A = this chain, B = another copy of it.
Amino acid sequence: MLTIGTLSKKTGTKVQTIRYYEQIGLMPEPGRTEGGQRRYDSSQLDRLSFIRHSRQLGFSLDAIRELLDLSDHPNRPCDEADAIARRQLKQVEQRMARLKALRTELKRMVHECSGGRTADCRVLEVLRDHSECLTEHDEIGA
């Protein structure tokens, strides 16, 4: 029987986050001691590890909910899990493309700044006038 603190250490998840996952129904309600403290077993540890690992790979909690559900039904076809992962991959690739454009622009800004007064600062100049940008970039909401 594991305390929430032990689970926290084993998975690198903050205690509050574990309670939060329980609150939103991602983790099941665990057993309790007489005094009301949570006690977990190893299946719950596995589940939390799955969640954490998925989060590290950038899956949303909603996607993780679906993945967990699929994981709980071993006889269903796995197309869906596959689709979720593909979707995630696509998102990652889109974000990378955007970041690449940003990097180009930022590099150029920094490179061109010669260190005088703010009045002549290329960084600020570029920010003032989008038309100075060579690439399209649209980071907002990424």
Contacts and interface: CB of A to CB of B under 8 A. Distances in A.
A46 B85 contact: no
A137 B93 CA distance: 15
A75 interface: yes
A74 interface: yes
Contact of A57 (B50, B86, B127): B127
A26 interface: no
A58 B139 contact: yes
A124 interface: yes
A119 interface: yes
Contacts of A117: 74-78
A100 B57 CA distance: 11
A81 to B, nearest CB: 5
A74 B55 CA distance: 44
Contacts of A119: 74-75
Given A71-B124, A89-B110, 9 more contacts: A46-B128, A50-B128, A57-B102, A57-B127, A57-B139, A58-B102, A79-B115, A81-B121, A96-B103
